[in-house]
A and B are shown apart, each in its own frame.
Chain A
Amino acid sequence: DGGITQSPKYLFRKEGQNVTLSCEQNLNHDAMYWYRQDPGQGLRLIYYSQIVNDFQKGDIAEGYSVSREKKESFPLTVTSAQKNPTAFYLCASTLLPTENTEAFFGQGTRLTVV
């Protein structure tokens, strides 16, 4: 079945460590997105990519990095520079152009700093 898969579902990070969250889609979607979700905050955009080897910062990119080496994959690295990384992270994808298209989400990764 086509879909978007995030892994792992739960991730624990020690202070000062970088961690990478995986996002893979087999929907043949062009654009991929990373969101952060905190209680009562809704979804905030971290980074997005519309094409391989290109990506743009979202509203809260500081302390995060991404890569888009393949159309299917858009991993997110939470660096030690992110001061408050504990959150639920969601990956999404869409076709381009985005007019008359929907965004589909993965199952999410809950990151906890220990």
Chain B
Amino acid sequence: GQQLNQSPQSMFIQEGEDVSMNCTSSSIFNTWLWYKQDPGEGPVLLIALYKAGELTSNGRLTAQFGITRKDSFLNISASIPSDVGIYFCAGRPSGGSEKLVFGKGMKLTVNP
């Protein structure tokens, strides 16, 4: 099945640093979703994007729906230890597909 290219696959940062991650696709998407997953838990929705160019913030998180509709990025500012986890992007291809496509995730480690 189709998957998104999510990068980087992992990051090790110091507390207080900013982090950025992105997802790209070879086809056009009409929805981008960003999730965070803690170990042994289900993904929790962080930000949802529905319009090309849309820039949305949720506290220290900012995400954008790429203008080409083939990419999205998520930024976390001033990281804290509880930001550790796996961050997934998910997208819904245009054309009426009911199925979400997921990236492989980015594992974030924050050193206090």
Contacts and interface: CB of A to CB of B under 8 A. Distances in A.
Given A48-B98, A105-B42, 9 more contacts: A88-B40, A97-B98, A99-B30, A102-B48, A103-B100, A105-B35, A105-B43, A106-B42, A108-B42
A50 B3 CA distance: 22
Nearest to A91: B42
Interface residues of B, number: 25
Contact of A102 (B33, B99, B102, B105): B33
Given A100-B31, A105-B42, A107-B41, A31 B88 contact: no
A42 B99 contact: no
A90 B3 CA distance: 17
A110 B41 CA distance: 10
Q: What are the 10 A-B residue pairs with the smallest beta carbon separation, nearest first?
A: A59-B1, A105-B42, A42-B104, A43-B102, A108-B42, A107-B42, A42-B102, A105-B43, A102-B48, A100-B50
A104 B45 contact: yes
Nearest to A59: B1
Interface of B: 1, 3, 6, 30-31, 33, 35, 40-45, 48, 50, 88, 90, 92, 98-100, 102-105
B111 to A, nearest CB: 22
Contacts of A88: 40
A96 interface: yes
B98 A40 contact: no
A103 to B, nearest CB: 6
B1 A96 contact: no
A45 interface: yes
Interface string A23-49: 000000001010100001111110010
Contacts of A58: 1, 99
Given A40-B104, A41-B104, A42-B88, A105 B44 contact: yes
